[in-house]
Amino acid sequence: MDYLLTEDQTMIRDLCHQIAEERIKPVAAQYDESGEFAWDIVKVLAEADIFGVSIPEAYSGMGGGVFEMALVTEQLSWGCGGIALSFGGTGLGAFPILLFGNEEQKQQYLPPIARGEKLAAFAITEADAGSDAAGIRTTATKDRDHYVLNGTKQWITNGGEAEIYTVIALTDRAKGPRGASAFVVEKGTPGLKFGKKENKLGIRSSATCEVIFEEVRVPKENLLAREGMGFVVALKTFDHARPGVAAQAVGIAQRALDEATQYARQRKQFGHPISSFQGIQFMLADMAIAVEASRALVYAAARMIDAGAKNVAKPSAISKTFASDACVKVTLDAIQIFGGYGYMKEYPVEKLLRDSKITQIYEGSNEIQRNVIAANLIKESSRA
Ligand SMILES: Cc1cc2nc3c(=O)[nH]c(=O)nc-3n(C[C@H](O)[C@H](O)[C@H](O)COP(=O)(O)OP(=O)(O)OC[C@H]3O[C@@H](n4cnc5c(N)ncnc54)[C@H](O)[C@@H]3O)c2cc1C
């Protein structure tokens, strides 16, 4: 399928595929096994200016948008869905600053992110507040020209490794969802601590960590937007970031399709390559349809966002839900095509299935995405 990429977009895609092929793929299994954070790959990405693709040139970036971010994420995820998340998690952490930061905040925080000198993270989830984000308990209490943060965030991607955290905390408990605000908190601020690093099913080389705030004082200049806008910041951030999760799913699924096609050509049973059996051919064809349909949805949603479309919540949720569901199915089918070998860790496809599952869960589970899609459908229909 020709997506009519510009010269710059083609260059970004090809460069990231080359990095995935030559640098990430050879070490992916080792990082998956150890669960270590792949700092050596982060360095490679930084040297290639990849962290700046979606940051405006005025802040040392390349001036791309959500589309370029999706291209990068897709290709890096083809190499390893976990390692790719050092990039994806940084994008998630940077979006609130990009979308809601004032000029000073952008000048301060975006250039080191664009240069890959500092990773970012976004922290909203807590032990008792996942899908129901309005249930967060972390507080930010105003104390003259500072806010004092207390609470614990859970399962934060890039937690402990990132230098810049955008955090949603309650500035006014009594106001419920209208009482939350967004802050930038830098690693090294006294009282900011990191708890347990999670031992996960998949995306094992990504850091998923508790982020703990104990009397963390941040200057009032670190407030993003205005007091009370925390959930607006979070919702807009997710609307912009979800095509990134969808792109991660496309990259993982494409890799599964590539591996399965190659294997089917080589593996012989009954005196013939299994690729000559119609049962296998149909499975490969269905996988290809699912991957391409996912990619088309991701690119369409990303382009809508970059074009400044008004309500992007529905296309963003559709791309994430479809691509992640497709990814889990495609990676499962890849294992089926590999037969018993697919079940073994010596072969790459069992990792792809493990890595795929998270795309249905994070940045809003697919059940929550279906709620968003249905709510928008009903609203649109009532206006018609
Ligand atoms: C590896 C990993 C990385 C993550 N990274 C980050 C991060 O960087 N920053 C961050 O803030 N968070 C992060 N998260 C948190 C993630 O976004 C949440 O896990 C996710 O939003 C779901 O919340 P939950 O796990 O608490 O599930 P719950 O909200 O407890 O949901 C449990 C189940 O109930 C379903 N459910 C809940 N409500 C409804 C409903 N109204 N209708 C139908 N079904 C419903 C859910 O879909 C799910 O199937 C991460 C999580 C993981 C596992």
Other beta carbons less than 10 A from residue 239's beta carbon: 23
CA 373, 376, 381, 384 dihedral sign is negative
Rounded-to-integer distance, Cα 208 and Cα 202, Å: 11
Question: Minimal CA–CA distance to 363: which of 328, 327, 313, 326?
Answer: 313
Mutate to test the pocket of ligand 1, among 362, 363, 369, 370 (most ligand atoms within 8 A of CB): 362
Question: Minimal CA–CA distance to 109: which of 217, 185, 192?
Answer: 185
Rounded-to-integer distance, Cα 252 and Cα 255, Å: 5
Q: Phi and psi of 153, rounded to 5°?
A: -95, 145
- Provide DSSP, 267-320: -EETTEEGGGSHHHHHHHHHHHHHHHHHHHHHHHHHHHHHTT-S--HHHHHHHH
pLDDT for the residue numbered 176:
83
Count Cα atoms within 13 angstroms, Cβ side, for 196. 6
Core vs surface per residue 345-378: b (16+ CB within 10 A) or e: eebbbbbbbbbbbbbbbbbbebebbeebbeebee
pLDDT for the residue numbered 20:
98
pLDDT for the residue numbered 360:
98
Rounded-to-integer distance, Cα 93 and Cα 95, Å: 6
Find the 122 Cα to ligand 1 centroid distance in Å. Answer: 14
Task: Confirm if 202 and 354 have CB atoms less than 8 A apart.
Answer: yes
Query: Are β-strands 223-224 and 180-186 bridged in parallel, bridged antiparallel, or unpaired?
Result: antiparallel
pLDDT for the residue numbered 51:
98
Amino acid type, 234: A
Rounded-to-integer distance, Cα 131 and Cα 205, Å: 24
Residues in the chain: 384
Q: N- to C-terminal Cα distance for the chain? A: 34
Find the 362 Cα to ligand 1 centroid distance in Å. Answer: 6
- Whole-prediction pTM value? 0.98
Find the 370 Cα to ligand 1 centroid distance in Å. Answer: 14
Cα dist. 359→183, 230, 246, 295, 323 in Å?
Answer: 26, 24, 7, 14, 8
- In this structure, the residues whose C-beta lies within 6 A of any atom of ligand 1 are 89, 121-125, 130-131, 155-157, 200, 208, 358, 361-365, 367-368, 371
Contacts with 333 (C-beta within 8 Å, 6 or more apart), sequence order: 256, 260, 283, 286, 287
Catalytic-residue membership of 161: no
Crossing angle between the packed helical segments 39-47 and 7-19, to the nearest 10 degrees: 150
Rounded-to-integer distance, Cα 54 and Cα 64, Å: 4
Question: Minimal CA–CA distance to 314: which of 382, 245, 238?
Answer: 238
Find the 118 Cα to ligand 1 centroid distance in Å. Answer: 26
Q: Which of 57, 215, 363, 367 is catalytic?
A: 363
Atom of ligand 1 nearest to the CA of 366: 47
pLDDT for the residue numbered 384:
80
Integer Rg of the chain from CA: 21
Amino acid type, 31: Y
Mutate to test the pocket of ligand 1, among 194, 204, 365, 368 (most ligand atoms within 8 A of CB): 365
> Which neighbouring-strand residues pair with 151?
213
Mutate to test the pocket of ligand 1, among 125, 196, 238 (most ligand atoms within 8 A of CB): 125
pLDDT for the residue numbered 267:
98
Task: Confirm if 126 and 154 have CB atoms less than 8 A apart.
Answer: yes
Find the 280 Cα to ligand 1 centroid distance in Å. Answer: 35
For residue 158, how far is the Cα from the chain centroid? 11
- Each residue's pLDDT, cut to its tens digit, for the chain (384 residues) gives 899 999 999 999 999 999 999 999 999 999 999 999 999 999 999 999 999 999 999 999 999 999 999 999 999 999 999 999 999 999 999 999 999 999 999 999 999 999 999 999 999 999 999 999 999 999 999 999 999 999 999 999 999 999 999 999 999 999 988 999 999 999 999 999 999 899 999 999 999 999 999 999 999 999 999 999 999 999 999 999 999 999 999 999 999 999 999 999 999 999 999 999 999 999 999 999 999 999 999 999 999 999 999 999 999 999 999 999 999 999 999 999 999 999 999 999 999 999 999 999 999 999 999 999 999 999 999 988
Query: Per the structure block, which two tokens stand in for 255?
Result: 């890799």
Task: Confirm if 68 and 11 have CB atoms less than 8 A apart.
Answer: no
What H or E segment, with its residue span, contains residue 333?
helix 313-338
330 exposure class (CB count in 10 Å sphere: 0-12, 13-18, 19+): buried
